[in-house]
Chain A
Amino acid sequence: MLVSVYRYNPETDREPYMQDVEVSLLEGKDLMVLDVLNLIKEKDQSLSFRRSCREGVCGSDGVNMNGKNGLACITPLSDVAANGKLVVRPLPGLPVIRDLVVDMGVFYKQYQRIKPYLQNSSQTGNHERLQSPEDRAKLDGLYECILCACCSTSCPSFWWNPDKFVGPSGLLQAYRFLADSRDEATEERLAELDDPFSVFRCRGIMNCVSVCPKGLNPTKAIGHIRDMLLSRAT
């Protein structure tokens, strides 16, 4: 199988290039893209990419495969490269550090900005903050985000304004805390988001939904935030 991999080493290369590698696969056996990257790395140790858990939990190996973002470890070749050719590039829109490794700084900055932790200053005594099963259920589909950045780096609004638009991942997390019955900072959180960029740059094209490896729906969460901002303003 022919695999084309994005290569760039800022210490030796003047500019990035695509390297074609022929990888021999066993007949009738399906591999994950991460396995293919590992096979290439066996031949050429200089190829750099991130990976850790290799089962879609840690979110390290987000890459762009044949034009679509996803986690290399849980994307089977039969899904992504049915035509027999595979092109692997780093996640789009973020600065490349080397080969498939990108600088996620701006992505984490947006995550930090939405204050991804419970804010509650009331005293509970010596027991946990209780939540009804119904209130807990509101967090389903929100808390599962693994911060792989597949969604935010597939979003044109995030490409153009990564410093101002929070991005689908950050907004999903923002709503996770807005929706939490135990959080008391709803007003402060909404005030922080009410400008023309942070939330409203979302144009609802739903690239984020189509690439999320965990099957989450950031567009829906953004819609809920917009509703909250609207009812706060009216």
Chain B
Amino acid sequence: MVANFLNYSRSGVADWIVQRFSALILAAYTIVMVVWLVVNGMELTFAQWQGFIGQTWMRIFTLLTILALASHAWIGLWTVATDYLRKGVIRVVFLGFVGVSLFVYVVWGVSILWGF
């Protein structure tokens, strides 16, 4: 039996929509990154890199991507955990680890984007 860990009365449709929209954002960000890297070649300098990421639109887009990644990963791993981790304690520990990790990534991402 799976307890509704952090899922009390959550909507399946909402999860489904978040999962799809975040996937679109992640795909768009990946395309932008790959195109930029291809255009700028292999000889990349730190100044170039910082100049690209430091633009306001790119900071917002990156933050949006980090938030999309966190929600996408949370819904996905919550689903995997409620399928495959049958012992409640292990599941709670695993999801706790995932939740804390994602939170740290988001905070870290924000501090990188707006800390320079």
Residues of A within 8 A of B (CB): 156-157, 160-161, 163-164, 193-201, 226, 229-230, 232-233
Instruction: List chain B residues, Cβ under 8 A from A233.
Output: 11, 13-14, 17
Contact A200 B83 (CB under 8 A): no
| CA A230 to CA B11, docked complex, whole Å | 11
Contact B1 A163 (CB under 8 A): yes
Instruction: List chain B residues, Cβ under 8 A from A198.
Output: 12
Q: List 7 A-B contacts (CB under 8 A).
A: A160-B86, A161-B2, A195-B11, A196-B15, A226-B16, A230-B13, A230-B16
| 8 Å CB interface, B1-54 against A | 1-2, 7, 9-17
Question: Which secondary structure characterizes the binding site on chain B?
Answer: helix
Instruction: List chain B residues, Cβ under 8 A from A156.
Output: 83
Instruction: List chain B residues, Cβ under 8 A from A230.
Output: 13, 16-17
Contact A196 B84 (CB under 8 A): no
Contact B15 A200 (CB under 8 A): yes
In the A-B complex, the 4 residue pairs with the smallest Cβ-Cβ separation, listed nearest first, are A200-B12, A160-B83, A233-B13, A196-B12
- Specify which of B2, B12, B14 lies most central, judged by the most chain A CB atoms within 10 Å of its CB: B12
| CA A156 to CA B84, docked complex, whole Å | 10
Instruction: List chain A residues, Cβ under 8 A from B9.
Output: 195
Instruction: List chain B residues, Cβ under 8 A from A160.
Output: 82-84, 86
Q: Given that A161-B2, A163-B1, A164-B2 are contacting pairs, would A196 and B10 also be in contact in the complex, using a CB cutoff of 8 Å?
A: yes
Q: Given that A229-B12, A233-B11 are contacting pairs, would A196 and B79 also be in contact in the complex, using a CB cutoff of 8 Å?
A: yes
Chain B residue with Cβ nearest A195? B12
Contact B12 A197 (CB under 8 A): yes
Measured as residues with beta carbon below 8 angstroms from the partner, the interface class of chain B is 10 to 19
Instruction: Please give the distance in Å from B11's CB to the nearest CB on chain A.
Output: 6
Instruction: List chain B residues, Cβ under 8 A from A232.
Output: 13
Instruction: List chain A residues, Cβ under 8 A from B12.
Output: 193-200, 229
Instruction: Please give the distance in Å from B91's CB to the nearest CB on chain A.
Output: 12
| CA A118 to CA B10, docked complex, whole Å | 28
| 8 Å CB interface, B54-111 against A | 79, 82-84, 86
| CA A96 to CA B113, docked complex, whole Å | 57
Contact A200 B16 (CB under 8 A): yes
Q: Given that A196-B15, A226-B16 are contacting pairs, would A161 and B82 also be in contact in the complex, using a CB cutoff of 8 Å?
A: yes
Chain A residue with Cβ nearest B11? A194
| CA A148 to CA B15, docked complex, whole Å | 31
Instruction: List chain A residues, Cβ under 8 A from B7.
Output: 196
Instruction: Please give the distance in Å from A226's CB to the nearest CB on chain B.
Output: 7
| CA A232 to CA B11, docked complex, whole Å | 12
Knowing that A157-B83, A161-B82, A163-B1 are A-B contacts, what are 16 other residue pairs whose CB atoms are under 8 Å apart, sorted by A's residue number?
Answer: A160-B82, A160-B83, A160-B86, A161-B83, A164-B2, A193-B12, A194-B11, A194-B12, A195-B10, A196-B7, A200-B12, A200-B16, A201-B79, A226-B16, A229-B13, A233-B17
